[in-house]
Amino acid sequence: MGVKTPSYMVITWGCQMNEDDSRQMGSLLEQMGYARASDELDADVILLNTCSVRAKPEQKMSTRLGELSIIKRDKPHLIIGVCGCTAERQGAALLRRWKSVNLIMGTANIYELPSLLARVKSGERVLAVGLPERGGQAPQVSVERAGVQVGLKEFVPAMYGCNNFCAYCVVPYTRGPERSRPADEIVREAAVLAAHGCREITLVGQNVNSYGKTLPGSCDFAGLLERLNDVDGLLRIRFMTSHPKDLSERLIDAIAALPKVCEQFHLPIQSGDDEILAGMGRGYTVLKYRSLVDRLRERVPGISLTTDVMVGFPGETEEQFKNTLQTIEAVGFDAAYMFEFNPRPGTRAASMERQLDHKTRIRRLGELIRLQNGITIQKNRQNIGREMEVLAEAPGRRGGGMGGFTRGGKMVLFTASPETAGRLVKVKVTDGGLTGLSGHMVTP
């Protein structure tokens, strides 16, 4: 009987940054000879990579840790690790609470995974957390993606951390100060991905449009997009997230001019009321935000705009909430990620007075979602009759057709053969709803 190849599983709850971190962990484990496990009962190493921006992922992680602890009773060699923002935030407390956990690995320690695992195997319970100082370097990323299959679409980190300290947000505490990756490294990674069949990249970072500020002599984000636009084989470039206070005219010009950069912009507004925005420490007013939207729409006609909105920030009055509803209606976003304020320990907002009760927050969130859903449907239906470029990805779940996304980031289900997968096709839109569009292919 042959020796079983050790296997791993990385379970992710979180944002694009967490997803990309999980991919890096997978890549490192595969370089160490691990294979991806299809089932957690089969895995020798299980890493839980959890975001702590909202409370839900942390709750899910606790439930899963309880289940894994039971599995570990019959399988003592199982290595359980907790990684990501939650590991960074809760650190030693997690090790104390969960005797089954062998490794706590913070967001800046991912690249130490091989040596950390070696310590675990020698019997240590390892705590590896701690963020770099301001002005520190971005971690050295393996651009080769050894062992990890390259998909049609991939996330590429452009920068890590954030210097903004919005009152409600844990990111600066869990991911540390802003650090940009060198442009040469990002371009090389994009070229490697394109050579392996990737056609669309999404540059990710907490505030991509302040890219380059921490790297002396670096290009800015517009300059990075210009360089990526020249990468052979790449068809589309997207990015997220952007902060309105750092959105430059140069970046708007770059989106307008560069053919591979998609006409899509995710610009978190958070609130439609100036006092609440000031309390959040966002650094812009509603008027300023709306002038940016006008400028984007003027320079990039047809641009798809999405946003993040939070309701129930401490002290938010009914009138201030109505201001948000009015602003959301007036701007007319294509889609929005909507949340109720959730006090995250350690942030300024968590200790603010006049916290709103859960019932009020949920009621406001419901109103906001109803409003935005109507706008999204209306926006999607405006595309009926248009022919749109779609990157065909995979067969749709129903009806045997294909699925893909427009340049504006709208999901489309359409009739076409599976052989179109990986190609840009023209689709005539025949219907639109809350989740996206449907239609049929008009040109191969």
Query: Which positions touch ligand SF4 (CB under 6 A)?
Result: 162, 164-166, 169, 171-172, 206-207, 243
In the complex, the smallest distance separating the C-beta of residue 180 from ligand SF4, rounded to whole angstroms, is 14
**Spatial distance between the Cα atoms of 193 and 155, rounded to a whole number of angstroms:** 10
In the complex, the smallest distance separating the C-beta of residue 166 from ligand SF4, rounded to whole angstroms, is 3
> 42: Cβ–Cβ under 8 A, 6 or more apart, which residues?
7
> 284 or 414, CB closer to ligand SF4?
284
**Spatial distance between the Cα atoms of 46 and 70, rounded to a whole number of angstroms:** 14
- Amino acid letter for position 238: R
In the complex, the smallest distance separating the C-beta of residue 346 from ligand SF4, rounded to whole angstroms, is 12
> 26 or 172, CB closer to ligand SF4?
172
In the complex, the smallest distance separating the C-beta of residue 207 from ligand SF4, rounded to whole angstroms, is 5
> 204 or 325, CB closer to ligand SF4?
204
In the complex, the smallest distance separating the C-beta of residue 323 from ligand SF4, rounded to whole angstroms, is 20
In the complex, the smallest distance separating the C-beta of residue 279 from ligand SF4, rounded to whole angstroms, is 13
> 238 or 282, CB closer to ligand SF4?
282
**Spatial distance between the Cα atoms of 147 and 163, rounded to a whole number of angstroms:** 34
For 181-289, where are the E strands, in sequence order? 200-204, 236-240, 264-266
CA 53 from centroid of its chain's CA atoms: 12
In the complex, the smallest distance separating the C-beta of residue 165 from ligand SF4, rounded to whole angstroms, is 6
End-to-end CA distance of the chain, in Å? 50
Query: Could you tell me if residue 84 is left (phi over 0), alpha (psi between -120 and 50 degrees) or otherwise beta?
Result: left
Annotate 277-290 with DSSP letters as a single string.
HHHHT-S--HHHHH
Query: Could you tell me if residue 340 is left (phi over 0), alpha (psi between -120 and 50 degrees) or otherwise beta?
Result: beta
> 207 or 420, CB closer to ligand SF4?
207
Give Cα separations from 143 to 35, 181, 196, 443 (angstroms).
19, 12, 12, 35
> 431: Cβ–Cβ under 8 A, 6 or more apart, which residues?
381, 384, 437, 438, 439
> 18 or 207, CB closer to ligand SF4?
207
> 47 or 286, CB closer to ligand SF4?
286
Bridging pattern class, strands 45-50 and 79-83: parallel
Closest CA to 306 of 246, 251, 239, 382: 239
Give, as one character, the DSSP assignment of residue 111: G
In the complex, the smallest distance separating the C-beta of residue 327 from ligand SF4, rounded to whole angstroms, is 18
> 178 or 393, CB closer to ligand SF4?
178
In the complex, the smallest distance separating the C-beta of residue 87 from ligand SF4, rounded to whole angstroms, is 18
> 230: Cβ–Cβ under 8 A, 6 or more apart, which residues?
none
Q: Please say whether the beta carbons of 229 and 201 come within 8 A.
A: no
> 78 or 277, CB closer to ligand SF4?
277
